[in-house]
Amino acid sequence: MTTLGAAIIGCGAIAPLHAKAIASMEGTQLLAAADSDADQAKAFGEQYGCGVVQDYRELLGRTDIDIVHLCTPHYLHAQMAIDFLNAGKHVLTEKPLAMDVPSARRMLEAADHSKGQLGVVFQNRYNEPSMQIRQTIDGGTLGRLLCMKGIVTWNRSEQYYTESGWRGRWATEGGGVLINQTIHTLDLLQWFGGEISSVSGSVSKDVLDGIIEVEDSAHACITFSNQVRGLFYGTNAYSVNSPVELELVFEHGTLLQRRDCLYLWKDGREELLCEPSAAANGGKSYWGRGHQRLIHDFYDHIRERREFWLNGREGIKALEVIAGIYSSPGSQRIIPATAKGLHSN
Q: How many CA atoms lie within 13 A of 314 on its CB side?
A: 22
DSSP state of 244: P
Over residues 7-36, mean pLDDT: 97
pLDDT band at 289 (very low <50, low <70, confident <90, very high): low
What integer pLDDT is reported at residue 284 of this predicted model?
53
Residues for the chain: how many in total?
345
Sign of CA dihedral 107, 111, 113, 116: positive
Please list the residues that pair with 245 across neighbouring strands. 151
Q: What is the pLDDT of residue 287?
A: 47
Per-residue pLDDT, averaged over 301-323, amounts to 97
Share of the chain above pLDDT 90, in %: 88
Q: What are phi and psi of 268, to 5 degrees?
A: 75, 10
Name the residue among 236, 222, 200 with its Cα closest to residue 325: 200
**pLDDT for position 316:** 98
Give the pLDDT band (50/70/90) at residue 39.
very high
pLDDT of residue 91: 99
- In angstroms, the CA 37 to CA 31 distance is 18
Is the overall model pTM greater than 0.85, yes or no?
yes
Residue spans of beta strands (DSSP E) within the chain: 4-9, 28-34, 51-53, 67-70, 90-94, 118-121, 145-153, 196-204, 217-224, 229-235, 245-250, 253-258, 261-266, 269-274
**CA distance from start to end of the chain:** 43
Average pLDDT for the chain? 94
Mean pLDDT within 190-200: 97
d(CA 224, CA 221): 10
Q: What are phi and psi of 325, to 5 degrees?
A: -70, -45
**pLDDT value at residue 339:** 66
Q: What percent of the chain has pLDDT over 70?
A: 93
pLDDT tens digits along 212-264: 999 999 999 999 999 999 999 999 999 999 999 999 999 999 999 998 899 99
Please tell me the distance from the alpha carbon of residue 297 to that of residue 123, in angstroms, as a whole number: 11
Which DSSP symbol is given to 212? B
User: What is the mean pLDDT of the segment spanning 69-75?
Assistant: 98
CB contact at 8 A, 179 and 343: no
pLDDT in tens, 90-141: 999 999 999 999 999 999 999 999 999 999 999 999 999 999 999 999 999 9
Which residues, at least 6 apart from 121, have a Cβ–Cβ distance to it below 8 Å?
92, 93, 94, 95, 291, 294
User: Confidence class of residue 161 from pLDDT cuts 50, 70 and 90?
Assistant: very high
Residues 6+ apart with CB under 8 A from 26: 1
**Whether 176 contacts 206, CB under 8 Å:** no
pLDDT band, residue 331 (cuts 50/70/90) = confident
Is the pLDDT at 277 greater than 80, yes or no?
no
Mean pLDDT computed over 270-290: 69
Least trusted range by pLDDT, from 48-62, 176-190, 305-319, 325-339:
325-339
CA angle 338–343–344, rounded 5-degree value: 105
Q: Across-strand partners of 118?
A: 91
Rounded to whole angstroms, how far apart are CA atoms 291 and 323? 26
Extract the runs of DSSP E, i.e. beta strands, from 10-63: 28-34, 51-53
